[in-house]
């Protein structure tokens, strides 16, 4: 048994002691300013990250740092209200550890949200973008190191990390609710500083949106065999020729504007899984 497997077992044992062996099928990770979906969950129990072995402290603004287990859309779910980032000083393995635990608890699907910068000119603040693919510019990978074949293959295939089935469900849910939604490529960077004009110009040639999260969790989710959906909320516009100083309050306001739309889509997707 590897150290990682032992750590997962410790976390599962602690969660089971509180949840009475609650077994979710859908894992959810909520990004910056996007915690409202957790309030929609019919709670079974809530556990502070600090009480779970292997979980870290979430230091990013608006990340509450709680694991919520309950029911949403008729399914048993486990939701991270707040995630971990590489820029907080955590390793890629620490960032993605909760995904391992979700899988061990029984999750087969993983829904991820994040706040991002919109590089494609049609993506305005407060808009939604389904991630159809990504580019890892973080310079790191959570699968580096010895591989435990019980957790996943040494060489996971990243041909389609985001489930086409779940993307279709999200598009259908948006259409039913008259919600405008886009699709695009997510460029993942390390952070915590925002990009320079030159960097935005370069990244615009590669993708539509840019952010500091999600890709590590997706890589581990693929490794673990989970079906994944990623939806980004555009919280700031990144036109290098019209760039304005970053305003965190504006970012959170744009996230709050988009949150009800994101919540509606996520709930409907979960109900169809």
Domains of the chain as residue ranges with CATH: 3-272 (3.40.50.1580)
Segments of the chain with pLDDT less than 50: none
Distance of alpha carbon 263 from alpha carbon 77, whole angstroms: 14
Structure confidence by residue, pLDDT tens digits, 143-190: 999 999 999 999 999 999 999 999 999 999 999 999 999 999 999 999
What would the two tokens of residue 216 be?
Answer: 């590590």
Contact present, 237 and 123 (Cβ < 8 Å):
yes
Distance of alpha carbon 52 from alpha carbon 67, whole angstroms: 9
pLDDT for 133 equals 98
């Amino acid at each position: 048994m590897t150290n990682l497997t032992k750590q997962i077992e410790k976390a599962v044992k602690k969660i089971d002691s509180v949840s009475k062996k609650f077994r979710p099928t859908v894992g959810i990770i909520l990004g910056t300013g996007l915690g409202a979906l957790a309030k929609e969950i019919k709670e079974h129990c809530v556990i502070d990250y600090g009480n779970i072995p292997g979980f870290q402290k979430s230091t990013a603004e608006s990340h509450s740092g709680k694991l919520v287990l309950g029911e949403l859309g008729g399914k048993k779910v486990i939701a991270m209200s707040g995630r971990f980032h590489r820029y907080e000083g955590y390793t890629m393995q620490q960032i993605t550890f909760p995904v391992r635990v979700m899988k061990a608890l029984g999750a087969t699907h993983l829904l991820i949200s994040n706040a991002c910068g919109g590089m494609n000119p049609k993506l305005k603040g407060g808009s939604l973008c389904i991630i159809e693919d990504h580019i890892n510019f973080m310079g790191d990978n959570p699968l580096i190191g010895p591989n435990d074949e019980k957790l996943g293959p040494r060489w996971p295939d990243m041909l389609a990390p985001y489930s086409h089935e779940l993307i279709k469900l999200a598009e259908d849910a948006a259409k039913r609710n008259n919600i405008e939604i886009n699709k695009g490529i997510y460029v993942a960077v390390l952070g915590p500083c925002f990009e320079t004009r030159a960097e935005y110009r370069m990244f615009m040639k590669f993708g539509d949106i840019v952010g500091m999260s999600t890709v590590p969790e997706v890589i581990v989710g693929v490794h673990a065999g989970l079906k994944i959906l990623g939806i980004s909320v555009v919280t700031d516009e990144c036109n290098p020729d019209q760039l304005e100083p970053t305003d965190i309050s504006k970012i959170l306001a744009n996230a709050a504007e988009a949150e009800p739309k994101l919540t509606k889509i996520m709930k409907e997707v979960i109900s169809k899984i």
